[in-house]
Structure 1
Amino acid sequence: MTQNIVAWSEVQVDLKAPPMSKGAFGYVYRAKSRGAPVALKLLLEGANYDPNAILHEIEVMSILKHPNVVLWMGMVTGGGRYGILMALEKQSLEEVLYRPNAPLDPLKKWKFTLEICRGMCWLYTHQVFHRDLKPDNILISQNEECKISDFGLSRILPAYESVSEKVAIGSRLWMSPEVLQGTNITSKADVYSFGLIVWQIFTQQALFKEYLDISPPAEALRAFFRGL
């Protein structure tokens, strides 16, 4: 992996510009590396994160090379700061789904669904449990291809294994019941998240909008599951 280590002197980024998005451990900015446009995930200084977790994300991304998984281009290091360089994609699925007065063509909905599914199958083959699948973490390329991104919360989990978590990990609206309960969690939780994403693709509506006025969000989801 040493050939993919980049010095900060080789990266040009305007940190005063609005970030493109926020990932599990930091903000993502438009940048340039060695003259090429890239996306830079910059770790938040002083944020409460485990350095091993970001190194884990780098390790996971470095082995995942698939048309429907965002391309990892290198790690930026130096001066005690870390960054991740990724291919710069056009926009997120979240942005595409909720553009005002811009319904998606039915064929494009099927195309997006199949591409996300292919990316997930690739992750499953490599025993990668993403744990934070949602439209904001699905990027759309210039060629209108979906690419799964943000592996900050992912872990290696064989299909036959399950785990328990004291704290629910991920984005609550896309969490499966077992993730919320913290018991018997398997990589099938990603399939639950995928099902919700598919619903969003085909309806272009917000999830659980009848529960959005309930606070806190965790109580809203408990109310939803009580109603099942």
Structure 2
Amino acid sequence: MIGNRYKKIEKGGSSAGIGSGTYGEVFKCEDTQTGTIVAVKRIRTDLEDEGIPSTALREISVLRELQHPNIVDLQDCVQSAGRLYLVFEFVDKDLKRYMESHEGPLPSLTIKSFMHQLLSGLEFCHARGVMHRDLKPQNLLVSRDGRLKLADFGLARAFCPPIRPLTHEVVTLWFRPPEILLGSQTYAPPMDMWAVGTILAELAAKAPLFPGDSEIDELYKIFMLLGTPSEATWPGVTKLPDWNAIFPTWPRLSLRHAAPGLSDAGLDLLNKCLVYDPAARVSARRALKHPYFDGFDPATPAPPM
């Protein structure tokens, strides 16, 4: 029993939809007051000399302000036996597991629905001055009825004033934008939009777009597909701290083979997300108005699992 209210049913992982990670474990629990199923994240406090990790405090403060159908709902915070627990709505699985459980390519309508829901939640965050900073399929939850929700806001930050990127906190390189890989000390919502592009490509191909195993490998995988950037394609790139004049020069390739099955409009949206210059990258608000979504009814969720 967690506190006097939440009864453990089973450990999280795929059943709780959020899983376990560096900062906590997730349990599937029953709310004994309401009888509903919830996901309870136990925060590890042994990682911090000061007690509660800053990531947990950040997640609580951010989610208290972000109430949206496409953002996971933080329902309660409980302190019990010297530990902190965050109580979330229960969502069946994450987007990565959803893709793995679906045989063959995802239907185009499913991809479009997930992308519209992702952008809707993200636009809500950005409009309120919050960057997610860790968007990836494992941090997007999908309910049985096809509703997608942004989750895991432990790395979320307000984007005013600009802050130094805490790259050591990022779990994976695969969704990190090139400006961060090249050492930019200031960044803003466009970093989330780069991740949106990589997620769109992964939904289409059911494989990660840039699966680098180190920072330089990640950069090279990006350059080999999108072409090595230059001052002409990305003004100021050669002034970034980690730019190297001896980077190999690769030509830009078409994204058609990297994202099979996407319509021409879908490829155009992908290209607008994967623009090198952050200032020229499409915003979540503009992306929602892209022709890719023409005729799409946002009230229709993705087909149920």
Q: Which moved more, 1:127-136 or 1:55-64?
A: 55-64
Q: Is the 8 A contact 1:42 1:83 kept in 2?
A: yes
**What does residue 44 of structure 1 align with?**
44
In structure 2, C-alpha distance between the alignment counterparts of 1:185 and 1:83, rounded to whole Å: 31
Work out which of the residue numbers 47, 70, 73 in structure 1 matches 2:72. Answer: 70
2:111 matched to 1:116?
Answer: no
Work out which of the residue numbers 4, 9, 16 in structure 2 matches 1:9. Answer: 4
From the superposition, tell whether residues 206 and 98 of structure 1 become closer, same or farther in structure 2 (CA, over 3 Å): farther
Q: Is the 8 A contact 1:27 1:42 kept in 2?
A: yes
Structure 1 residue 185 displacement after superposition: 1.7
In structure 1, C-alpha distance between the alignment counterparts of 2:159 and 2:52, rounded to whole Å: 19
2:180 matched to 1:179?
Answer: yes
Q: Is the 8 A contact 2:45 2:53 kept in 1?
A: no
**What does residue 4 of structure 1 align with?**
none
From the superposition, tell whether residues 11 and 166 of structure 1 become closer, same or farther in structure 2 (CA, over 3 Å): closer
Q: Matches of residues 180-219 of structure 1 in structure 2 within 5 Å? A: 180=181, 181-209=183-211, 211=212, 216-219=213-216
Work out which of the residue numbers 8, 33, 37 in structure 1 matches 2:31. Answer: 33
Q: Could you tell me the percent identity over the aligned residues?
A: 23
Larger radius of gyration: 2
From the superposition, tell whether residues 128 and 18 of structure 1 become closer, same or farther in structure 2 (CA, over 3 Å): closer
In structure 1, C-alpha distance between the alignment counterparts of 2:135 and 2:201, rounded to whole Å: 13
Work out which of the residue numbers 13, 16, 20 in structure 2 matches 1:22. Answer: 20
Structure 1 residue 205 displacement after superposition: 1.6
TM-score of the pair, normalised by structure 1: 0.84
**What does residue 98 of structure 1 align with?**
100
From the superposition, tell whether residues 123 and 184 of structure 1 become closer, same or farther in structure 2 (CA, over 3 Å): same
In structure 2, C-alpha distance between the alignment counterparts of 1:223 and 1:85, rounded to whole Å: 40
**What does residue 3 of structure 1 align with?**
none
In structure 1, C-alpha distance between the alignment counterparts of 2:91 and 2:44, rounded to whole Å: 22
Q: 1:142-191 CA distances to partner (integer Å, 9 max, x unpaired)?
A: 22011000001111114xx4322364542311111222224222221011
Q: Is the 8 A contact 2:12 2:20 kept in 1?
A: no
**What does residue 221 of structure 1 align with?**
218
Corresponding pairs, count = 215
In structure 1, C-alpha distance between the alignment counterparts of 2:43 and 2:159, rounded to whole Å: 25
Unaligned runs of 5+ in 2: 229-305
What's the C-alpha RMSD, in Å, of the aligned pairs?
Answer: 2.4
In structure 1, C-alpha distance between the alignment counterparts of 2:216 and 2:165, rounded to whole Å: 19
In structure 2, C-alpha distance between the alignment counterparts of 1:189 and 1:107, rounded to whole Å: 26
**What does residue 81 of structure 1 align with?**
83
Q: 1:1-34 CA distances to partner (integer Å, 9 max, x unpaired)?
A: xxxxxx622111256x463412451122211222
In structure 2, C-alpha distance between the alignment counterparts of 1:196 and 1:100, rounded to whole Å: 19
Q: Is the 8 A contact 2:71 2:150 kept in 1?
A: yes
Q: Is the 8 A contact 2:74 2:89 kept in 1?
A: yes
From the superposition, tell whether residues 118 and 23 of structure 1 become closer, same or farther in structure 2 (CA, over 3 Å): farther
